[in-house]
Amino acid sequence: MSGSFNQVCFRTVGLPNPASLKTYRSVGGYEVLKRIITEKIPAAEIIAEIKLSGLRGRGGAGFPTGLKWTFMPRNYDGEKYLVCNSDEGEPGTFKDRDILRYNPHQIIEGMAIGAYTMGVKTAYNYIHGEIWAEYEIFERALDEARVAGLLGDNILGTDFTFNLYAHHGYGAYICGEETALIESIEGKKGQPRFKPPFPATYGVFGKPSTINNTETFASVPYILQHGGQNFLDLGVANSGGTKLFSISGHVEKPCNVEVNMGMPFPELLALAGGVWKGRKLKAVIPGGSSVPVVPADIMMQCTMDYDSIVKVGGSMLGAGSVIVMDETTDMVKTLDRLSYFYYEESCGQCTPCREGTGWLWRVVRRIAEGKGRMEDLDLLTDVSNNISGRTICALGDAAATPVLSFIKHFRPEFEYYIEHGRSMLKA
Amino acid sequence: MLSKQAIAKIDRELSKYPADQRRAAVMSALRIAQVEHGWLSKEAIADVAAYLGIPDIAALEVASFYNMYELEAVGKYKLTVCTNISCMLRDAEGIVEHLEHKLGVHCGETTADGKFTLREGECMGACGGAPLLLINNHEMREFLTPEKVDVMLEELN
């Protein structure tokens, strides 16, 4: 295997008290921030380094981070905000949770560097409500950093002032969408905003704001310590650096691993102990429940980077959330559960999503209950295509994608259910 | 009425936001009130709204939008089992059935003695520990088996 494990966001994993300031400092933590703010490194230099690194948004969209950081207005007099999106609720995704619990200070340092670069004084980390223990770990890390003079006024004796606070969610998948997350910080229902205006113009409390994912921020200190070229070289073309992969489902050892981008999928699967119980692989959802499912034979030819998953796999890398399904998996029942999820989590704002997600789920449920009709498959395709692209945010598309891809790749299973009223797996 | 302790906690949350943005603390304030009372009555929601200086409806729409808030009384222990895909693949259904059998209730119901409420939940962002559940929103139990569920129930009883 090329490269090594856990060298960027997970560099404290395996050390004693990994979440403590002392441990983070023992691996060189906060040295980069100190150098930047004491030597007053120009923002343009930092952004150039981030751009060189090839770092792309790790929350799923893969937008170039360095470019995003240039969208913030430079000469703006009022308050500006920086936000970390730790609202990790995409089924199959649990990487940011492990950064929060094992290496919270690297998120803080990454955010402080981002704040310095974009001229921000106040920031929030929005943490998924269900991972309460990690919210408390992050709060403790903030307290430690404040006491050590790494947050607050005149950090490390410089004129750099930066305050960072934790804000928790309380059970709403939609708040992972950045404008819903902003609404939620403001104390409102998490309903996505129309864009434009984009957050860099009109964000938190109506002020210019930048939102990045947890893993994205945590990658920043490494990049500025070792240089953009070093990070870029860890990965492959268009996919610089390392990536955390969350591997769940039918594997021997579900886990998070941080590896170099471009690792062949079979090697990644082996890191999770392979398919469990000696069974055969049937399918993989490579990037969280909202990306297309990929049949085993195609998945085994993919490498784990943005381009390969699209070009070879016909799917997306998303947040690197690899859901593994073995040969016994009932694809109709699996789709039934996913479709219910999107119906349950639709915020209700846009008609195609509010009505369409429920419609999709009811039809899939009907098939799973053995009451389906052959024309239901075309109906599902039609409803899916009429949700996609017709909503404010991507939840509508996310609901349509599993339906379209499950039917595309596993149509005979759906047809068997309709014809026989039961699964072909039990035939 | 919000207790003194609750108000102190809400004040700490308020300090995170600009002074003219008290509404931003509503999610925390509702969570604090819920931890104190076990659920959110109309009165508790109104108390939170009054303390933050926002309309009752603004607090109610938050309380009703986010699914970890309870708008009706629940048991002493609310058990929310994740049944989303990664948990489903590792037999969350078996865990739900085991709990239903042991507690003698269906999902969504509370035991007659008011001790347990059983729920199905959506993805909790901890799929590596599947199958898993939350006790009263804040305590996660992972890698569940029927045996581990039995031990947990005894501990809570």
Question: Do the Cβ atoms of A66 and A53 come closer than 8 Å?
Answer: yes
Q: Where are the alpha helices (DSSP H) in A148-303?
A: 178-185, 214-226, 228-234, 265-271, 296-299
Are the beta carbons of B123 and A90 separated by less than 8 Å?
A: yes
Per-residue pLDDT of chain A (427 residues; tens, 9 = 90+): 345 688 999 999 999 999 999 999 999 999 999 999 999 999 999 999 999 999 999 999 999 999 999 999 988 989 999 999 999 999 999 999 999 999 999 999 999 999 999 999 999 999 999 999 999 999 999 999 999 999 999 999 999 999 999 999 999 999 999 999 999 999 999 999 999 999 999 999 999 999 999 999 999 999 999 999 999 999 999 999 999 999 999 999 999 999 999 999 999 999 999 999 999 999 999 999 999 999 999 999 999 999 999 999 999 999 999 999 999 999 999 999 999 999 999 999 999 999 999 999 999 999 999 999 999 999 999 999 999 999 999 999 999 999 999 999 999 999 999 999 999 997 6
Question: Do the Cβ atoms of A249 and A323 come closer than 8 Å?
Answer: yes
DSSP A1: -
Helix, strand, coil fractions of chain A, as percent rounded to 5:
50, 15, 35
Tell me the C-alpha to C-alpha distance, in Å, between residue A41 and each of A47, A108, A224: 11, 19, 11
Question: Do the Cβ atoms of A248 and A94 come closer than 8 Å?
Answer: yes
A193 vs chain B: nearest CA distance in angstroms? 16
Nearest CB neighbour to B62, from listed A89, A187, A249 = A187
Question: Do the Cβ atoms of A255 and A271 come closer than 8 Å?
Answer: yes
A229 vs chain B: nearest CA distance in angstroms? 32
User: Count of CB atoms within 10 A of residue A248's CB?
Assistant: 28
**Portion 314-373 of A in contact with B at CB < 8 A:** 321, 323-325, 329, 334, 337-338, 341, 344-345, 347
User: Count of CB atoms within 10 A of residue B72's CB?
Assistant: 9
Task: Give the pLDDT confidence score for residue A74 in this predicted structure.
Answer: 84
The total number of residues written for chain A in this structure: 427
**What are the φ and ψ backbone dihedral angles of B133, each rounded to 5 degrees?**
-145, 165
User: Count of CB atoms within 10 A of residue A299's CB?
Assistant: 24
Task: Give the pLDDT confidence score for residue A427 in this predicted structure.
Answer: 60
pTM for this entry: 0.97
**Portion 231-270 of A in contact with B at CB < 8 A:** 246-250, 254-256
Are the beta carbons of A171 and B122 separated by less than 8 Å?
A: yes
Are the beta carbons of A169 and B89 separated by less than 8 Å?
A: no
Among residues B64, B13, B4, B31, which one has the least CA distance to residue B136? B31
Task: Give the pLDDT confidence score for residue A3 in this predicted structure.
Answer: 52
Which strand (E) or helix (H) includes residue A338?
helix A331-345
Task: Give the pLDDT confidence score for residue B1 in this predicted structure.
Answer: 86
Which tens digit of pLDDT belongs to each residue from B26-62?
999 999 999 999 999 999 999 999 999 999 999 999 9
In chain A, what residues touch B135 (CB-CB under 8 Å)? none
Measured CA to CA, the distance from residue A412 to residue A364 in angstroms comes to 15
Are the beta carbons of A171 and B68 separated by less than 8 Å?
A: yes
Which tens digit of pLDDT belongs to each residue from B68-100?
999 999 999 999 999 999 999 999 999 999 999
DSSP string, B37-101: HSS--HHHHHHHHHHHT--HHHHHHHHHHSTTS-SS---SEEEEEE-SHHHHTTTHHHHHHHHHH
Nearest chain A alpha carbon to B21: A186
Dihedral of the alpha carbons of A292, A297, A299, A301, in degrees to the nearest 10: -140
In chain A, what residues touch B129 (CB-CB under 8 Å)? 94, 254
Give Rg (Cα) of chain A. Answer: 22
Distance, C-alpha A365 to centroid of its chain: 28
Are the beta carbons of B84 and A130 separated by less than 8 Å?
A: no
A121, amino acid identity: K
Are the beta carbons of A129 and B130 separated by less than 8 Å?
A: no
Q: Where are the alpha helices (DSSP H) in A235-284?
A: 265-271
In chain B, what residues touch A79 (CB-CB under 8 Å)? 18
In chain A, what residues touch B23 (CB-CB under 8 Å)? 186-188
DSSP A194: P
Q: What ipTM was reported for this prediction?
A: 0.97
Are the beta carbons of B125 and A79 separated by less than 8 Å?
A: no
Task: Give the pLDDT confidence score for residue A2 in this predicted structure.
Answer: 44
Are the beta carbons of A323 and B89 separated by less than 8 Å?
A: yes
In chain A, what residues touch B86 (CB-CB under 8 Å)? 91-92, 248-249, 254, 323
Task: Give the pLDDT confidence score for residue A1 in this predicted structure.
Answer: 38
Are the beta carbons of A89 and B122 separated by less than 8 Å?
A: yes
Nearest CB neighbour to B85, from listed A246, A254, A289 = A289
